[in-house]
Amino acid sequence: MANQEEVFKKVISHAKEYGYIFQSSEIYDGLSAVYDYAQNGAELKKNIREYWWRAMVQLNKNIVGIDAAILMHPTTWKASGHVDAFNDPLIDNKDSKKRYRADVLVEDYTAKIETKIEKEVKKAAKRFGDSFDKAQYLTTNPRVVEYQKKIDTILKRLGKSLENEDLADVKALIEELGIVCPVSGSTNWTDVKQFNLMFGTKLGASADSAMDLYLRPETAQGIFVNFLNVQKTGRMKIPFGIAQTGKAFRNEIVARQFIFRMREFEQMEMQFFVKPGSQKEWYEAWKENRMKWHLSLGLGNENYRFHDHEKLAHYADAATDIEFRFPFGFKELEGIHSRTDFDLSAHEEHSGKKLQYFDHEENKSYVPYVVETSIGLDRMFLAIFSHALKEETLENNSTRTVLKLPAVLAPTKAAVLPLVKKDGLPEVAHEIVEDLKWDFNVVYDEKDAVGRRYRRQDAVGTPFCITVDHQTLEDQTVTLRHRDTMEQQRVAISEVKAIITKEVDMKSWLIKM
Which residues sit at the interface with ligand GAP, rule CB under 6 A?
218, 220, 250, 252, 261-262, 265, 267, 269, 332-335, 372, 374-376, 378-379
- When the beta carbons of 267 and 479 are compared against ligand GAP, the nearer one is 267
- Cβ 135 to ligand GAP shortest distance, Å: 27
Q: What's the order of all strands across the beta sheet hosting 87-92?
A: 99-101, 87-92, 193-196
Q: Which CB atom, from 379 or from 453, has the smaller least distance to ligand GAP?
A: 379
Q: What's the closest the beta carbon of residue 256 comes to ligand GAP, in angstroms?
A: 12
Nearest CB to ligand GAP, comparing residues 97 and 305 = 305
Q: Give every CB contact of residue 298 below 8 A, 6+ residues apart in sequence.
A: 406
CA–CA distance, 494 with 442 (Å, rounded to integer): 16
Q: How far apart are CA 264 and CA 270, in angstroms?
A: 19
Name the residue number minimizing CB distance to ligand GAP: 376
**Other C-beta atoms within 10 Å of 92: how many?**
17
For residue 261, the minimal CB distance to ligand GAP (Å) is: 4
Please report how close the Cβ of residue 210 comes to ligand GAP at its closest, in angstroms: 27
35-53 burial, b if ≥16 CB within 10 A, otherwise e? bebbebbebbbebbbebbb
Encoded amino acid at 428, one letter: V
As beta bridge partners, residue 245 has: 268
CB of 313 to ligand GAP, least distance (A): 9
Instruction: Note the maximum CA span of the chain.
Output: 80
Residue placing its CB nearer to ligand GAP in the complex, 103 or 269: 269
CA–CA separation, 110 and 260 (whole Å): 19
User: CB of 241 within 8 A of CB of 60?
Assistant: yes
Amino acid at site 410: A
Identify the DSSP state of 442: E
Q: Which residues does 437 contact at the CB level (< 8 Å), separation at least 6?
A: none
Q: How far is the CB of 441 from ligand GAP (least distance, A)?
A: 26
Shortest separation between residue 156's beta carbon and ligand GAP, angstroms:
21
Residue 36 or 332: the one with the smaller Cβ distance to ligand GAP is 332
* Cβ-contact 76, 221 below 8 angstroms: yes
User: Amino acid identity, residue 35?
Assistant: Y
Q: Which is nearer to ligand GAP, 106 or 262 (CB)?
A: 262
Residue closer to ligand GAP (CB basis): 174 or 371: 371
Task: For the CB of residue 459, give the shortest distance to ligand GAP in the complex, in Å.
Answer: 26
Residue closer to ligand GAP, measured from CB, 379 or 404: 379
